[in-house]
Amino acid sequence: MSTAKDRHAQKSGGQHKRPAIRGPRPAWVLAVAHALALGIALVLYALPHHVIPSVQEATGVVSSRQSIQRTAEPVATPEATLWPVQMAAETADAEAEATPAPTPAPTEEPVGSFRNKFADKFTDGEVIRTHSEYRSANLYVTFQKKYFDELLSRVYFVDIYVADITCLRSALAQDKYGRGIKEWVTKAAKRHKAVATMNGDYFGSRDFGVVVRNGTLYREKKNIRDVAVLYWDGRFEIIPPEDFDAMTVMENGAYQCWHFGPRLLDDEGHAMTTFNADARMLKTHPRSAFGYFEPGHYCFVVVDGRHEESRGVDMVKLSALMEKLGCTAAYNLDGGQTSLLARYDTLWNRPSGGGKSTSDFIMVVDDVVN
């Protein structure tokens, strides 16, 4: 009489069953798996780059005022304004009749000092602080806001005269250099007691491009964009990436270097229509730009965008705006949600999506560093 065990052995032939061969997985399963794998890879990439703060060290290379060779001062530019200026014809007769009084030769100033050059802009020590103006022994700053119908956008303009180049300086988020270290613009402005603060190039979001802040070279890696250089003597120039050499500009007295761009005006200060930038950057966005008139005279320009009442501008329109303001050179900085402008320690513009924290700022402070 066979047992249940024997019957099972006969039925199976004394052998184990072969596992069933599965068919190919559905296409949607493979697509989901690939998407998950890509998502995990992006998260792993983003964590060290954008989420986990990483403090890093500077290169140890610094520049100083003493490295600057004096050059002849350019002719002073007229005051910049967002508002229509008085027509030249209205003042021609008065100018013809006026006899200019002889001016005494100014005493030589230290490199980066413009106290004598713009003596009529500064006070004898009194501080005047309003919503439209800040004036002191070291600064003359005016704030203007205007809606341009032709741009369908709101523009914020900060006109800046400094008695010393160190009144225009950079600030690092949380006063630290590294990746993923960010701070809100008003918090940085309050800590440094700034008169005006604008976002910089957001160097902390990438690991390429030069970083020079307040005379210290923090990073020199491959540059793929135009580089803006502000020197200790107040000069400002924009160098194509293929011609830029960090050691050379540091030896020549680089005070700040920003890597974003592109440049917005040609060598004659005229608007441009072609730029060293990809197509996405050229489109209509909120914008931040640094403008240069002459050594000691600069401006911050921020254009609100992505709002119903303020669209933003494309690069061609931003270039035309900087020429209209009278800048002789101008440079595009990080835009979009990063376009931020604080008047004193209060957010002045209306950034897209409420804005976001960033890694660095350009600010005006009423303090001279010797």
Examine residue 241 and state whether it is found in any structural domain, yes or no.
yes
Q: Residue 96: its pLDDT value, please? A: 43
Q: What is the pLDDT of residues 39-87, one digit of tens each?
A: 676 656 555 545 577 899 888 899 999 888 665 556 677 778 886 543 3
SS3 at position 147: strand
| pLDDT band at 38; cut points 50, 70, 90 | confident
Q: What is the pLDDT of residues 267-295, one digit of tens each?
A: 999 999 999 999 999 999 999 999 999 99
Q: Residue 53: its pLDDT value, please? A: 79
Examine residue 93 and state whether it is found in any structural domain, yes or no.
yes
In the chain, the number of structural domains is 1
Examine residue 318 and state whether it is found in any structural domain, yes or no.
yes
Position 107 pLDDT exceeds 80: no
Examine residue 29 and state whether it is found in any structural domain, yes or no.
no
Average predicted confidence (pLDDT) for the chain? 87
Q: Residue 85: its pLDDT value, please? A: 47
Position 90 pLDDT exceeds 50: no
Position 4 pLDDT exceeds 70: no
Print the domain residue range for 191: 48-98+108-365
- Separation between Cα atoms, residue 187 and residue 194, nearest integer Å: 10
- 198: tokens are 């604008």
Q: What b/e sequence results for 100-121 when a residue is b if at least 16 CB atoms lie within 10 Å of its CB, and e otherwise?
A: eeeeeeeeeeebbbbbebbeeb
20 vs 189, higher pLDDT = 189
SS3 at position 126: coil
Examine residue 27 and state whether it is found in any structural domain, yes or no.
no
The pLDDT > 90 percentage for the chain reads 72
Q: Residue 71: its pLDDT value, please? A: 56
Beta bridge partners of 257: 212, 229
Q: Do 138 and 155 contact (CB within 8 A), yes or no?
A: no
Q: Do 131 and 344 contact (CB within 8 A), yes or no?
A: no
CB atoms within 10 A of CB 203: 25
The edge-to-edge listing of strands for the beta sheet with 297-303 is 128-129, 133-135, 139-148, 153-162, 297-303, 287-294, 329-332
List C-alpha distances in Å: 231 to 190, 253, 370: 26, 6, 16
Q: Residue 34: its pLDDT value, please? A: 74
The pLDDT > 70 percentage for the chain reads 81
| pLDDT band at 95; cut points 50, 70, 90 | very low
Examine residue 337 and state whether it is found in any structural domain, yes or no.
yes
Examine residue 8 and state whether it is found in any structural domain, yes or no.
no
Position 248 pLDDT exceeds 60: yes
Examine residue 103 and state whether it is found in any structural domain, yes or no.
no
Q: Residue 43: its pLDDT value, please? A: 56
Q: Do 47 and 39 contact (CB within 8 A), yes or no?
A: no
| pLDDT band at 349; cut points 50, 70, 90 | very high
